[in-house]
Chains A and B, each alone.
Chain A
Amino acid sequence: RHYYPGKDEL
């Protein structure tokens, strides 16, 4: 999966 920087945060 293309890891989006910071996309797993709120």
Chain B
Amino acid sequence: MNVFRLAGDMTHLLSIIILLLKIRATKSCTGISLKTQELYVIVFLTRYLDLFTKYISFYNTTMKLVFLGTSISIVWYMRYHKVVKQTYNKDQDTFRHYFLAIPCFLLALLIHHEFTVIEVLWTFSIYLEAVAILPQLVLLQRSRNIDNLTGNYVFLLGAYRALYLVNWVYRYFTENHLVRWIPWLSGLVQTTLYADFFYYYIKSWKNNEKLQLPA
């Protein structure tokens, strides 16, 4: 474990906590894409299949359970909670997320470390996570005013994978130059998708003005 990976995991955890607090405190999920949240549940389910078969560390197991539990509860709130589900922007959250999932699955069938169920599904989760934020970014462009919590959520979500990129560089130089193209390139694509959001987020933060994404 290195400081970059720990910072990445904590940033990721913080982003999810912020979203969960926003939904619970305001009883509203306005501006949040249910499609993206559902894709994240699929990402965690397909990535943590070895949760009960391979013990890596107490930290690893705990974090996996926390990520699974929080992401599933967010989807539950947005789908079934009587008050929260009324605030879901159903007519604006129209991104066809299975158009993202299917190519990722096909790509995982073609390009993977080894052809086993666990490994192909893990690879699928890596590819899917890279594009899972797209429905949320599209929704942000459509929704006129973005509330601070939602802006912070998306920012931290993007920042965590950027920290993971630094973690991979660090591990490459300190752990016998292990090359891991699949997570590296996917992580690069994932972080790049946030580039313009990062630009507008930092601009709004510096000018102390409301976050607005150009349509």
Q: Would B180 and A7 count as touching, CB distance under 8 A?
A: no
A10 CB, nearest partner CB in chain B, Å: 5
B-facing residues in A1-10 (Cβ within 8 Å): 4-10
Asked whether any CB of chain A lies closer than 8 Å to the CB of B54, the reply is yes
A8 CB, nearest partner CB in chain B, Å: 5
Instruction: Tell me how many residue pairs across A and B have CB atoms closer than 8 Å.
Output: 26
* Size bracket of the B interface: 20 to 34
**SS class of chain B's interface: helix, strand, loop or mixed?**
helix
**SS class of chain A's interface: helix, strand, loop or mixed?**
loop
By beta carbon, the residue of chain A nearest B164 is A9
Q: Would A5 and B113 count as touching, CB distance under 8 A?
A: yes
By beta carbon, the residue of chain B nearest A9 is B5
Q: Would B63 and A10 count as touching, CB distance under 8 A?
A: yes
By beta carbon, the residue of chain A nearest B178 is A5
Name the B residues within 8 Å of A8 (CB-CB). Answer: 56-57, 60
Name the A residues within 8 Å of B64 (CB-CB). Answer: 10
Asked whether any CB of chain A lies closer than 8 Å to the CB of B38, the reply is no
By beta carbon, the residue of chain B nearest A1 is B54
B78 CB, nearest partner CB in chain A, Å: 23
